[in-house]
Amino acid sequence: MDFEVIHSYMPLYIEAFILTVKIGWAGIAISFAVGIFAAFMMHFKVPVVSKIAVGYVELFRNTPLLVQLFFIYFGLPKIGLSISAPNCGAIGLGLLGGSYMAEAIRSGLSAIPKSQEESALALGLNRRQMFVHVIFPEAVSISVPAIVANIIFMLKETSVFSAISLMDLMFTAKDLIGLYYNTTEALFLLVVFYIVMLLPVSILGSVIEKRARYKTLGA
């Protein structure tokens, strides 16, 4: 391993890392919005919309991100819907993650026993207060492990962005291997940067999981 090479590659990797993290977290933000919306539609069985939500969830859970990105990035422009590569990455990731988030939150909501709802109403809360202060917080704390797993899954999935010519970590590594044959150094930095990106989330995730479990037990 040649540390001079590593040193000279650093700026490229840092730039790629920032891009990957930015798009990754933008995608995660979208996935929360989409996921919560779809989960509510499915939970409250809103006519028509809930059917669409179910279709969306099944479609995106059963197809790979790479295929979704190819369709959005190369396919949609042909019917007049052009999206830039970074936006496409964030939207694709957001739609994929949204379907997983929807499933996680929906199953959290459906796990809340009926008695919680009835007790809240008996205590004089109205339906909105019941949902905002009782049902939703409980559902989220049940869903936390699944949500954390989904976030890690989505950050890992960012690795396919290079396929739509985004200059992310994978793209940089592949490019450098192709140009200079410093395979060991390029792959080493790739691994290091993915560890930097994911290990804190993984550790933080298990801490949050423990706290969330404590909250449900304490309630």
Binding site for another protein (CB under 8 A): 58-59, 61-64, 66-68, 70-71, 74-79, 152, 156-160, 162-163, 170, 173-174, 177, 183-184, 187, 190-191, 194-195, 198-199, 202
**What token pair was written down for 51?**
């059917």
Q: Which residue's CB is nearer to another protein, number 170 or number 212?
A: 170
| Cα 215 from Cα 144, distance rounded (Å) | 11
Question: How many Cα atoms occupy the beta-carbon half-sphere of 102 within 13 Å?
Answer: 30
Give the nearest distance from C-beta 65 to another protein in angstroms: 8
Asked if residues 100 and 31 have their Cβ atoms less than 8 Å apart, the reply is: yes
Asked if residues 98 and 34 have their Cβ atoms less than 8 Å apart, the reply is: yes
Give the nearest distance from C-beta 71 to another protein in angstroms: 4
Q: Which residue's CB is nearer to another protein, number 57 or number 90?
A: 57
Q: Which residue's CB is nearer to another protein, number 29 or number 195?
A: 195
| Cα 151 from Cα 92, distance rounded (Å) | 14
Report the candidate in 20, 34, 13 with the shortest Cα–Cα distance to residue 150.
34
Q: Which residue's CB is nearer to another protein, number 109 or number 130?
A: 109
Give the nearest distance from C-beta 204 to another protein in angstroms: 12
Give the nearest distance from C-beta 200 to another protein in angstroms: 10
Q: Which residue's CB is nearer to another protein, number 125 or number 192?
A: 192
DSSP code, position 161 = G
Give the nearest distance from C-beta 128 to another protein in angstroms: 32
**What token pair was written down for 14?**
């840092």
| Cα 79 from Cα 33, distance rounded (Å) | 26
Give the nearest distance from C-beta 134 to another protein in angstroms: 26
| Cα 11 from Cα 3, distance rounded (Å) | 14
Residue 189, class by beta-carbon neighbours within 10 Å (0-12 exposed, 13-18 middle, 19+ buried)?
buried
Q: Which residue's CB is nearer to another protein, number 123 or number 191?
A: 191
